[in-house]
């Protein structure tokens, strides 16, 4: 098996694969020092699709599991298929569901999927004119293409919205900003829903919630994700069923209809509103850090599920879960998310307490010592029979870890714990 990527998500994936009862030999490109403990790391960047393909071909890789979106949007599946190599993840055509927000909205419109009302603009002037004529604020401004999570602004006022439109058209997001979506701001609770799919059948995973803003109380700028927990008790089974039937299935059906059959892991970001769940976005891969709270609780064999998905053999299968809950706290470096400090020495990783998983997201190892190597450094996951216990274990483990400038949120899963208390 070959895992492509180098973050905490890929660490969790590599670990779940390495413990499969099929006993695979696991490689990771480029991996990281945490991944190197469970897999053989290979020094090829996730962006070098041709080098990855040659590695897979020359080393008899049976299945390549792609962590990040960029290689999928860039067509890694098609690239590998040319050599008869198997990939767990969608084709370039299907990955557009994440690669273009306008494409995703068009698919949703044709499929009748509940989502925010929207308008598309390919010129700055027409977008600004629209904002001037619009009465209701807040409004959401999105650059069309993948902008590493930075292309979305929830604008409270017209001024903020105009600023976001100008920023998108300024070229700051590259080609991603050449078209802009302006959409209705939805109010409710957000959830991340994953399904594995062969394009027709689905294998639903339990939902998770992530925390995007850097500071407690959801203050400050958005990040790649500062924490997560799973499952989410506030989501009613009927709501979850509605996400599958009204959002995910019609979207998959529509993609198949237009010749972009989706296979792999589909991630729907949804807002549970007063009118039921509505789709915020789709991602063409596992979420980060949601994967880090989902995989430790997976009772089924991840590799078996992936193989069954690729062989279109998932009908009648069920995903089995442990009764445990999981809470992930992300430790970020100084300056994140605007910048990130690197080379800070990390201490406290020698002993990992029981029921705790520590996934490396951006670390470097020199002479047996770990250093920070990016914005999100480590993911500390606690598990236990309740959110209270899982959360206590995660934060107790966080207390043992130190590096200069370390930042983390202290309120991950706090409201989930309060709900559990009732
Ligand atoms: P996206 O990358 O599309 O998921 O957007 C990033 C974040 O912006 C989401 O996780 C939401 O918190 C927020 N967001 C996106 N679209 C909307 C919307 N229509 N209404 C409210 N919040 C939104
Ligand atoms: N957790 C958000 C994402 O993976 O896009």
Q: How confident is the model over 354-374, as a mean pLDDT?
A: 97
Distance 262 CA to ligand 2 centre (A): 19
Average pLDDT over the chain, rounded to an integer: 95
pLDDT for the residue numbered 175: 67
Distance 60 CA to ligand 2 centre (A): 31
CATH at residue 299: 3.30.470.20
**97 within a domain of the structure (yes/no):** no
**Residue ranges making up the domain that contains 173:** 117-184
Task: Characterize the bridge pairing of strands 180-184 and 40-41.
Answer: unpaired
Number of domains in the chain: 4
Closest-CA residue to 229 (of 202, 204, 252, 210) = 210
pLDDT for the residue numbered 418: 85
Distance 422 CA to ligand 2 centre (A): 29
CATH at residue 164: 3.30.1490.20
CATH at residue 68: 3.40.50.20
Q: Rounded to the nearest 5°, which phi and psi values hold at 242?
A: -65, -35
**23 within a domain of the structure (yes/no):** yes
**369 within a domain of the structure (yes/no):** yes
* Nearest-ligand number for the alpha carbon of 141: 1
Distance 115 CA to ligand 1 centre (A): 11
pLDDT band at 149 (very low <50, low <70, confident <90, very high): low
pLDDT for the residue numbered 151: 82
Q: How confident is the model over 151-159, as a mean pLDDT?
A: 92
160 and 218 belong to one structural domain: no
**262 within a domain of the structure (yes/no):** yes
DSSP-assigned states of every residue in 367-394 = TTEEEEESSEEEEEEEEESSHHHHHHHH
* Nearest-ligand number for the alpha carbon of 279: 1
231 and 299 belong to one structural domain: yes
Name which residue sits closest to atom 3 of ligand 1, judged by CA.
281
Distance 338 CA to ligand 1 centre (A): 20
Mutating to test ligand 1, I would choose from 142, 280, 285, 287 the residue with most ligand atoms within 8 A of its C-beta, which is: 280
Q: How confident is the model over 93-99, as a mean pLDDT?
A: 97
**316 within a domain of the structure (yes/no):** no
28 and 133 belong to one structural domain: no
pLDDT for the residue numbered 178: 81
303 and 344 belong to one structural domain: no
Distance 248 CA to ligand 2 centre (A): 17
169 and 225 belong to one structural domain: no
345 and 268 belong to one structural domain: no
Ligand 2 closest atom vs CA 290: 1
Rounded distance between C-alpha atoms, residue 245 and residue 248, angstroms: 6
pLDDT band at 111 (very low <50, low <70, confident <90, very high): very high
pLDDT band at 170 (very low <50, low <70, confident <90, very high): confident
Predicted structure pTM score: 0.96
**110 within a domain of the structure (yes/no):** no
165 and 244 belong to one structural domain: no
pLDDT at 95 over 80: yes
Q: Which residues share a beta bridge with 272?
A: 189, 277
Mutating to test ligand 2, I would choose from 99, 192, 279 the residue with most ligand atoms within 8 A of its C-beta, which is: 192
* Nearest-ligand number for the alpha carbon of 328: 2
Name which residue sits closest to atom 13 of ligand 1, judged by CA.
154
Q: How confident is the model over 269-289, as a mean pLDDT?
A: 97
**94 within a domain of the structure (yes/no):** no
366-380: string of b/e by CB count within 10 Å (b at 16+)? eeeebbbbbbbbbbb
pLDDT at 343 over 60: yes
pLDDT band at 245 (very low <50, low <70, confident <90, very high): very high
Name which residue sits closest to atom 4 of ligand 2, judged by CA.
287
**Cis bond upstream, residue 30 (ω within 30):** yes
360 and 404 belong to one structural domain: yes
Rounded distance between C-alpha atoms, residue 165 and residue 129, angstroms: 11
372 and 288 belong to one structural domain: no
Distance 26 CA to ligand 1 centre (A): 35
């Amino acid at each position: 098996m070959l895992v492509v990527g180098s973050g905490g998500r890929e660490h969790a994936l590599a670990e779940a694969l390495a413990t499969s009862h099929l006993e695979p030999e696991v490689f990771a490109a480029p991996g990281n020092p945490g991944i190197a403990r469970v897999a053989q790391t290979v020094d090829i960047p996730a962006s070098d699709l041709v080098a990855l393909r040659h590695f897979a071909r020359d080393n008899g890789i049976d299945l390549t599991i792609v962590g990040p979106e960029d290689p999928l949007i860039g067509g890694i599946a098609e690239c590998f298929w040319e050599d008869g190599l198997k990939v767990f993840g969608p084709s370039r055509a299907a990955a557009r569901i994440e690669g273009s927000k306008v494409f995703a909205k068009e698919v949703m419109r044709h499929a009748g999927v509940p989502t925010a009302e929207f308008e598309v603009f390919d010129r700055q002037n027409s977008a600004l004119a629209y904002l001037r004529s619009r009465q209701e604020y807040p409004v959401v401004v999105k650059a069309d293409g993948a902008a590493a999570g930075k292309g979305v602004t929830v604008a409270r006022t017209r001024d903020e919205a105009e600023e976001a439109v100008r920023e998108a058209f300024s070229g700051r997001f590259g080609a991603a900003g050449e078209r802009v979506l302006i959409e209705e701001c939805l109010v409710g609770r957000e959830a991340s829903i994953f399904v594995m799919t062969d394009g027709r059948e689905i294998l639903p995973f339990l939902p998770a919630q992530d925390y995007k803003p850097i500071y407690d109380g959801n203050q400050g700028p958005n990040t790649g994700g500062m924490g997560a927990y799973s499952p989410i008790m506030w989501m009613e089974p009927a709501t979850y069923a509605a996400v599958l039937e009204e959002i995910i299935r019609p979207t998959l059906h529509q993609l198949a209809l237009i010749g972009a059959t989706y296979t792999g892991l589909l991630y729907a970001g949804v807002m549970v509103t007063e009118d039921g769940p509505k789709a915020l976005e789709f991602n063409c891969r596992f979420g980060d850090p949601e994967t880090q709270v989902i995989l430790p609780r997976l009772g089924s064999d991840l590799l078996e599920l992936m193989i069954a998905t690729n062989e279109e053999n998932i009908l009648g299968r069920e995903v089995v879960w442990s009764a445990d809950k999981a809470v992930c706290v992300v430790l970020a470096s100084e300056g994140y998310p605007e910048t990130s400090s690197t080379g800070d020495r990390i201490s406290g990783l020698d002993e990992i307490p029981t029921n705790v998983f520590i996934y490396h997201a951006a670390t470097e190892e020199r002479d047996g010592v770990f250093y920070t190597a990016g914005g999100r450094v480590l993911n500390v996951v606690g598990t236990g029979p309740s959110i209270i216990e899982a959360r206590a274990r995660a934060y107790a483990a966080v207390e043992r870890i130190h590096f200069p400038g370390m930042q983390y949120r202290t309120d991950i899963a706090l409201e989930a714990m309060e709900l559990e208390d009732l």
